[in-house]
Amino acid sequence: MREKILRASIPLFDKKGYSETSIQDIVEVLGVTKGTFYYYYKSKQELLKDINVTYIQNLLDEQKKILNDDTKTYREKVYNNMLMVIRTIRNERQSARVFFREMRHLEEHNLKLIIQKRYEFRMNTQHMIEKAIENGEFRDRIRPDILTFGILGMTNWSYYWYNPDGEVSEKELVDLYMELILNGVKN
């Protein structure tokens, strides 16, 4: 039931926002009582924390698979990391929007946990870039920290504007991003 509550709340938080979604809204969708909600969650805040933790932890788990794949170059790992983020946003679009938009409603102790996990994701991405530079796959004049922020900015904000059912596939989008990263726009 805990997972059902979590899954039922995501579309509500996405559509109405965290603040405007009541526990009553959530239990009505599920056809259960508030007592059922409170049996599994102490508060709506705990539920929002779980949505955020689930989203970022899934990304971290997938990222670690990419990072530990010894059959790929670090350039390929950077590419696969970007593709994984775009695919996750496609597959978990509502969760992505809740993660990015509603994080501001997390209480400080919950927010610290999410920030720590986001930091881990960022540092894993930066590590891939540093190794690509070290291996000669990327130019050595690049600042890995700034490139990391650029890549994460491009991929993470796609939740807002990218239509995975539109004319550009997720692979084409990542190919374009990699072309920009590797070659820029200069003719």
User: Do 87 and 105 form a contact (C-beta atoms < 8 A)?
Assistant: no
What is the pTM assigned to this prediction? 0.91
pLDDT, one tens digit per residue, over 74-90 is: 999 999 999 999 999 88
What's the domain count of the chain?
A: 2
Q: Are residues 27 and 66 in the same domain?
A: no
Q: Are residues 86 and 8 in the same domain?
A: no
Q: Are residues 151 and 63 in the same domain?
A: yes
pLDDT, one tens digit per residue, over 27-49 is: 999 999 999 999 999 999 999 99
Q: Are residues 27 and 94 in the same domain?
A: no
User: Do 61 and 135 form a contact (C-beta atoms < 8 A)?
Assistant: no
Q: Averaged over 88-94, what is the pLDDT?
A: 91
Q: Are residues 20 and 96 in the same domain?
A: no
CA distances from 1 to 13, 15, 57, 156 (A): 18, 22, 20, 30
The enclosing domain of 23 has a CATH number of 1.10.10.60
